[in-house]
Structure 1
Amino acid sequence: MYDIAVVGGGPAGLSAAVQARARNKSVLLVSGDVRDNPLYRTERVDNYLGFYNRSGRELLEAFRSHADAMGVQLREGRVLNILPVGDTFYLSIGSEVEQARAVVLATGVARGRKFPGEAEYLGRGVSYCATCDGMLYRNREVVVVGRAADAPHEANYLRELGCKVTYVSAQPPEGLRPDIPFVKGNRVEIQGGRNVEAVRVDRATIPCEGVFILRSSMAPDDLMTGLELENGYIRTGRDGATAIPGVFAAGDCTGVPLQVSKAVGEGQVAGHRAAEYCDAQQREEKTEDKERM
């Protein structure tokens, strides 16, 4: 079990992870493909103190190198769900589960609303994880809705499993197997009866039994229940604490301004407070152990 799990590999998450490691906590940082991070695609950053006229990619690579040197366990993947059980948080990462004493959410802004039919058919044909559910659709028609840089890779994986895959996205994908049909479109609607039966993309209808929606980030309230939101952002105190004890948040997911300097500062505070929370939990455990003796 890790002391702290950080969800998100942007400036806020990396700052929180570095701060927690400075306090000698074990840290797992889970992040999607670095190419999905808005900072990575920013050509020039002029307003981050001490780093004038740097590309976002340069900054992000420097942040990641710092975290790696501090001993942060960096892991690429998608956190699909976080479940608190007692004093432990269980994080579903693809088809695997990790445990942590505290969590820092640094998920950035979840861009894009749910597609029509997405919520209604979740678990009845709609999935967010190819490695988790792919085998259920072997030899069956599925649609991959690509909204993340690694989505073509996931589509290729489903094809290798034996799924009959159609790939849907607004732009032609890079790295998609040539035997996977590509449908270009923006408007997506999931249709069916009891279960998924088709996906409508603009004016085309694609019959299928499964839909894999692969986004770069999930909305905070989809990750865990009990978070308080305000205008779509996570409500926190100045210490980064959320409405759930042991869960802290930092960066763009807490609201404007969406700036690197704000994200780094909030990450530092959230990482510090998460480490203090772990210390308090460990003190309580020692006290309870003594009382039992």
Structure 2
Amino acid sequence: MEDIKKVYDVIVIGAGPGGLTAALYASRSNLSTLLLEKGIPGGQMNNTAEIENYSGFSSIMGPDLSMKMYEGAKQFGAEHVYGDVKEIIDHETEKELVTADKSYFAKSVIIATGAEHKKLGVKGEAELNGRGVSYCAVCDGAFFRNKHVVVVGGGDSAVEEGTYLTQFASKVTIVHRRSELRAQKILQDRAFKNEKVDFIWDSVVEEITGEEKVDGVRLKNINTGDYSQLEADGVFIYIGLLPNSESFRNLPITNQEGWIETDSQMMTAIPGVFAIGDVRDTVLRQVATAVGDGSVAGNAAYQYVEELNEKMEKQEA
């Protein structure tokens, strides 16, 4: 006997804060809801030591908030399976989500795939990844106890994670291509006051050196053109984000940079396909904004599915 094809009311791709919230709102509205996630629930929150700017908590560990949100997302019956979506095929009233081993079907889709760290693209970065090169201070910071580490970048993530690393490292040197930081002032103040944090301005990393493991970085001053070698045991890279939207480039929903464009209801150019959180073309990428996006999309998906059901019932009558 052939299996009856199951068509969910909504499938949420990605289980970060936005996706988890969307699943909560959708399932609470009595929609059959599936969470498809290729990693562990929580997304980038799992790589964040302390979250201090999410309302309701003066401070909470990223993995702890991830688990709380995951438990909340499932309380109204949302299902959760592992899956890496390779493509979405629009069949109008149905959307087909193609993974490596099977296809899933839904009346609506909420894309919450987030973004990933940009790479420097220099010699030694890929070769020494996991052997001194890292993009996650929470994951790898403890390996650098009493050692010197370099943090590349000048935004919120670079400065916050650089400060976090001082609880392990003996010294943290932040290398920034500009003459001043772009991070929030409160994060800058903490870094400047921390005796373990040093700064190298107007400089870029040209190469990460080392044989079996990182032993330093080769720097170039962008003003003078001079090169220098800085000894270090580890390099943490925080130079921005790239949208995880490769699987959706076949659809007319992304801009030239790959960010997904939506309206105020989180709807993309394709009816029934929504996008939220860090993958969306937006001015701020934080846990709070992803949660806000998720609540809007979960509600909008409910409205869309209700209208779609009414339309299909009329056609069948």
TM-score interval for Structure 1 and Structure 2 normalised by the shorter chain: 0.5 to 0.7
Query: Within 1, Cα distance between the matches of 2:37 and 2:267?
Result: 21
The SS at the match of 1:264 is helix
Greater gyration radius: 2
Contact 1:221–1:227 (CA under 8 A) maintained in structure 2: no
Name the counterpart of 1:235.
261
Q: Are 2:36 and 1:77 equivalent residues in the alignment?
A: no
CA distance in 1, matches of 2:296, 2:65: 20
What displacement does 1:76 show? 1.6
1:91-240 maps to which residues of 2 (within 5 A)?
91-112=97-118, 170-171=129-130, 219-223=244-248, 224-229=250-255, 231-240=257-266
Q: Conserved in 2, the CA contact under 8 Å of 1:19 and 1:272?
A: yes
Task: State the 1:69 CA deviation.
Answer: 1.7
Q: Does 1:286 align with 2:313?
A: yes
Q: Secondary structure at the match of 2:60?
A: coil
For the residues of structure 2 that align with 1:35 and 1:104, how far apart are their CA atoms?
A: 16
Which of 271, 290, 293 is the equivalent residue of 1:245?
271
Q: Do the aligned partners of residues 230 and 247 (structure 1) sit closer, same or farther apart at CA in structure 2, a change above 3 Å counting?
A: same
Secondary structure of 2:115's partner? coil
Corresponding position: 1:14 with 2:16: no
Q: TM-score, normalised by structure 2?
A: 0.57
TM-score normalized with structure 1 length: 0.62
Residue type of the alignment partner of 1:228: T
Match of 1:268 in 2: 295
2:243 touches 2:279 (CA, 8 Å); kept in 1? no
CA RMSD across the alignment: 2.5
Q: 1:58-106 CA distances to partner (integer Å, 9 max, x unpaired)? A: 1110000111222111112211111111311111122111100000011
* Contact preservation (8 Å) 1:228, 1:243: no
**Residue-pair matches, total:** 196
Q: Please give the alpha-carbon distance, in whole angstroms, between the structure 2 residues aligned to 1:282 and 1:169.
A: 53
Seen in structure 2, the aligned counterparts of structure 1 residues 35 and 264 have a Cα distance that, compared at 3 Å, is closer
Matching residue of 2:169: none
2:96–2:105 contact (8 Å) kept in structure 1: yes
Would you say the 8 A contact 1:35–1:41 is kept in 2? no
Query: Distance in 1 between the 2:292 and 2:298 partners?
Result: 10
CA distance in 2, matches of 1:9, 1:36: 6
| Distance in 2 of aligned mates of 1:112 and 1:218 | 10
Corresponding position of 1:160: none
Amino acid at match of 1:288: Q
Letter in 1 for 2:107: R
Structure 1 Cα separation of the partners of residues 256 and 265 of structure 2: 17
Q: CA deviation at 1:35?
A: 7.6
Deviations 1:139-158 (A, max 9, x none): xxxxxxxx9xxxxxxxxxxx
**Residue 100 of structure 1 aligns to a residue in which SS?**
strand
1:45 aligns with 2:4: no
Q: Which amino acid aligns with 2:61?
A: S
User: Could you list the per-position Cα deviations for residues 231-280 of structure 1 after superposition, in whole angstroms to 9, with x for gaps in the alignment?
Assistant: 43211111101111110111111133111110001100011101111111
Q: CA deviation at 1:32?
A: 1.7
Unaligned runs of 5+ in 2: 1-6, 132-208, 210-241
Helix, strand or coil for the counterpart of 1:79? coil
Whether contact under 8 Å (2:9, 2:106) holds in the other structure is yes
The 2-side partners of 1:99 and 1:245 are apart by 15
**Contact persistence 2:15–2:41 (CA under 8 A):** no
